[in-house]
């Protein structure tokens, strides 16, 4: 089922001293939405599955190759006035080891590991804040991981 999936949103999280941190990337001044802090985002290529885009964009934008990603029970949406369409954005996340730091692509010039409180203040879009709240809630609950779809690479 394809619908109108235009983009993906993918988060990388890690635990440091039992605290959850989100990787945020700052867009370069030359990019669309310059200097905006965000999770990984990317356009879904024609004939590409959204989860394959999440794996690809995660590696391209950070150098991280997750063995698995999780699917959040949420789809963000926005209206693209240039194409007069509603764009749907499935949301994914992966968990990195505590010593992981990204190798940035040319799209970003800074990164930051932020806890939920700080991350919510930095990201621009409400859907991204909601996604991060869901991730934190599910990762800090003992039974919540049962509700996430899990996709293995390969």
Q: Is 44 within the bounds of a domain?
A: yes
Q: What is the pLDDT of residue 150?
A: 86
pLDDT digit of tens for each residue in the chain (154 aa)?
346 889 999 999 999 999 999 999 999 988 888 899 999 999 999 899 999 999 999 999 999 999 999 999 999 998 888 888 899 999 999 999 999 999 999 999 999 999 999 999 999 999 999 999 999 998 888 666 666 788 899 8
What CA–CA distance (Å, rounded) separates 20 from 98? 10
Range of the domain at 78: 7-152
**Which tokens hold the place of 80?**
């693209």
Residue 59 lies in a domain: yes
The reply to whether 1 falls in a domain is no
What is the per-residue DSSP string for 60-75? Answer: HHHS---SEEEEEEEE
User: Domain containing 52 — which CATH number?
Assistant: 3.90.79.10
Q: Is 2 a domain residue?
A: no
**The pTM is what?**
0.93
């Amino acid at each position: 089922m394809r619908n109108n999936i235009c983009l993906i949103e993918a988060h990388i999280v890690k635990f440091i001293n039992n605290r959850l941190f989100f990787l945020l990337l700052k867009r370069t001044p030359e990019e669309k939405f310059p200097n905006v802090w965000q999770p990984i985002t990317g356009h879904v290529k024609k004939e590409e599955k959204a989860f394959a885009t999440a794996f690809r964009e995660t590696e391209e934008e950070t150098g991280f190759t997750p063995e698995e990603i999780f699917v959040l029970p949420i789809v963000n949406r926005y209206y693209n006035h240039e194409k007069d369409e509603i764009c749907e954005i499935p949301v994914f996340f992966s968990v990195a080891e505590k010593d992981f730091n990204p190798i940035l692509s040319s799209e970003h010039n800074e990164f930051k590991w932020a806890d939920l409180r700080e991350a919510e203040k930095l990201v621009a879009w409400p859907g991204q804040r909601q996604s991060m709240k869901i991730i934190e809630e599910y990762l800090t609950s003992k039974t919540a991981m049962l509700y996430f779809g899990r996709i293995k690479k390969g």
